Chains A and B, each alone.
Chain A
Amino acid sequence: MTELGDQGVQILAISPDPNEKSQELARKLHARYRFLTDQDLAVTRRYGLLHAHGGHKGQDVARPTTVVLDRRGVVRWLELADSIQIRPDPIDVARAVRQLPQ
């Protein structure tokens, strides 16, 4: 996904876990790939992406989702998983980004 960053696309990875990624890893990956923490899952809830008690210990987690927004903040591509095993293919995400109006 880092090639997307090279194309001037900002990638924001959001999870409730603040310890998931260290600052060092975030710096190494790319300036345009940032890890955000949604600790109380407020944003996840507002986006309708809460998976209640979906964590291994029964805690609330987010359902894996990828959203592509254009420059006006409008949703242009959306993939919600109905299974914890599914992650969107980066190729599909890259294609969705390339098809955004410039």
Chain B
Amino acid sequence: MIRYWPALVSVLLSIAAIAGYATLLRVPAIRNHPELYLLVFAAAAGIAGAATWRAARWPNFVALGLSVVLLILGGYFNFVLAKIPPAAAVLRVGEPAPDFTLPDASGAAVSLASFRERTPVVLVFYRGYW
């Protein structure tokens, strides 16, 4: 099986890309650059493609099939499923943010205006419903 080492490298690259992205998801440099896993899938596909070109044997086809499927699925997720449609801009740098009052985890009302003249505020909107 040693002569199919390109196929093995290709499959290991694909697995490493998935495992790496999943485990390093908390690292901003990894999470905010999902195109990295697409690049690795493409490299795996390239290696498997070259191997298949030189020797049309089943291990090379398997590696090629795996990396191409991952590239297509990953590309569909990254460029289609994960995308948020553009929205009308309400917030603008240099303009005041709309005031609001919302309950915190204990039910107490928190008003944005209450922090004015006291502290800067960082608002983090997140999806919820994980």
A-side residues, CB < 8 A to B, are 1, 4, 8-17, 20-23, 25-26, 32, 34-38, 43-44, 46-51, 54-57, 59, 61-78, 81-91, 93, 97, 100
Contact = CB atoms under 8 A, between A and B. Distances in A.
Nearest to B106: A23
B124 A12 contact: yes
Contacts of B83: 82-84
A70 B120 contact: yes
Contact of B119 (A10, A15, A63, A66): A10
Given A23-B106, A36-B110, A62-B128, A12 B122 contact: yes
B49 to A, nearest CB: 27
A55 B91 contact: no
Given A20-B128, A56-B129, A74-B94, A69 B78 contact: no
Main SS class of interface, B: loop
Given A23-B106, A75-B95, A85-B78, A9 B87 contact: no
The size bracket of the interface on B is: 35 or more
Interface in B115-129: 115-129
B31 to A, nearest CB: 6
Contact of B110 (A22, A34, A48, A59): A34
A71 B78 contact: no
B100 to A, nearest CB: 4
B54 interface: no
A51 B127 contact: yes
B105 interface: yes
Given A21-B105, A54-B84, A73-B112, A67 B126 contact: no
A95 to B, nearest CB: 12
B3 interface: no
Given A75-B96, A82-B84, A16 B103 contact: no
